[in-house]
């Protein structure tokens, strides 16, 4: 899978945050606004520690992954990370060994302000999940349990639900959000992801299908391709982290996205290597 470098396009970011009630002027709103919680501590580029909570008697760690917007006019991804060697592994994990060890269902509220059909939202989420699961012998994601119980992102403690939704993210330049909770203590091979929540920025972007692209041309420059971003975010839900090295720009888990981009719909070589290693 080849990637696209386009001069003069402003890249935007993906992120993880909290909930209050609000309404946007763009159309029907999901009545959700998201802000990075005050207790969050930055651990590294775009990764925030949400603290420790208790889930079913076990200590769990919450992570919020925020992807900073690069300077206007960049036509490539950031350069090599400080201190890196000559060889860059173009995959990483949210935490050493943290992965799903039991399959759980999820809740999805597909209502959005752009009129992107709700059936298409659900179908794209399912397709993105299958993209990751097709590489391993484990079902990471379970059954779609509907929309009724979607009540927002959980950034203080778990609530026993894996939720996917649209909303208004107040952090500038953010297009997507995923919060992951996983068990701590014990050896890495025993760490379990116990919950994930996900939100897509609704007011600032027009969601839909950006259409077919070529190896050198983006799709519809007015559309934020939902399947493209959803597949990236679902990588975080599965336990994959972001990569920021310029040499990794072809990977689905590369940290930035833009309107018209569809390259993240399918996994690249290092995405596949990473997910296979995590779920071996």
Q: What is the pLDDT of residues 31-45, one digit of tens each?
A: 688 788 888 999 987
Average pLDDT score over residue span 233-260: 94
pLDDT at 141: 98
Q: What is the pLDDT of residues 147-191, one digit of tens each?
A: 999 999 999 999 999 999 999 888 888 888 899 999 998 899 999
Cα 247 from chain centroid (whole Å): 20
Is pLDDT larger for residue 174 or for residue 214? Answer: 174
What proportions of the chain, in percent to the nearest 5, are helix, strand and coil? 15, 25, 55
Q: pTM for the whole thing?
A: 0.86
pLDDT reading at 115 higher than 60:
yes
Indicate the pLDDT class of residue 239, thresholds 50, 70 and 90. Answer: very high
Is pLDDT larger for residue 47 or for residue 206? Answer: 206
- How many Å apart are CA 124 and CA 64, to the nearest integer? 23
- How many Å apart are CA 134 and CA 114, to the nearest integer? 30
Nearest to 247 by CA among 76, 65, 71, 119: 76
pLDDT at 215: 60
- How many Å apart are CA 89 and CA 196, to the nearest integer? 25
The tokens 């778990």 sit on which residue?
158
The domains located in the chain, with CATH, are 18-278 (3.40.390.10)
What lies within 8 Å, CB to CB, of 117 at 6+ separation is none
């Amino acid at each position: 899978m080849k990637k696209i470098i386009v001069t003069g396009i402003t890249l935007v970011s993906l992120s993880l945050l909290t909930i209050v009630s609000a309404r946007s002027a763009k159309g029907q709103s999901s009545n959700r606004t998201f802000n990075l919680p005050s207790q969050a501590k930055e651990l590294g580029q775009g990764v925030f520690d949400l603290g420790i909570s208790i889930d079913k008697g076990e200590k769990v760690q919450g992570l919020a992954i925020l992807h900073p917007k690069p300077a206007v006019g960049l036509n490539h991804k950031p350069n090599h990370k400080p201190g890196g060697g000559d060889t860059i592994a173009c995959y990483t994990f949210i935490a050493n060994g943290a992965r799903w060890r039991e399959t759980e269902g999820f809740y999805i509220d597909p209502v959005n302000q752009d009129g992107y059909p709700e059936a298409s939202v659900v179908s794209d989420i399912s397709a993105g999940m299958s993209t990751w699961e097709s590489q391993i012998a484990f079902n990471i994601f379970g059954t779609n349990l509907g929309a009724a119980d979607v009540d927002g992102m959980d950034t203080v403690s778990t609530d026993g639900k894996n939720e996917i939704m649209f909303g208004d993210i107040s952090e500038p330049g953010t297009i997507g959000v995923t919060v992951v909770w996983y068990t701590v203590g014990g050896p890495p091979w025993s760490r379990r992801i116990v919950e994930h929540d996900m939100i897509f920025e609704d007011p600032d972007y027009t969601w839909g299908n950006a259409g077919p692209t070529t190896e050198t041309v983006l799709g519809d420059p007015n559309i934020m391709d939902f399947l493209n971003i959803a597949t990236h975010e679902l990588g975080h839900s599965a336990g994959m982290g972001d990569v920021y090295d310029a040499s990794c720009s072809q990977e689905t888990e590369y940290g930035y996205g833009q309107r018209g981009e569809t390259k993240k719909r399918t996994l690249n070589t290092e995405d596949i290597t990473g997910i296979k290693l995590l779920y071996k």
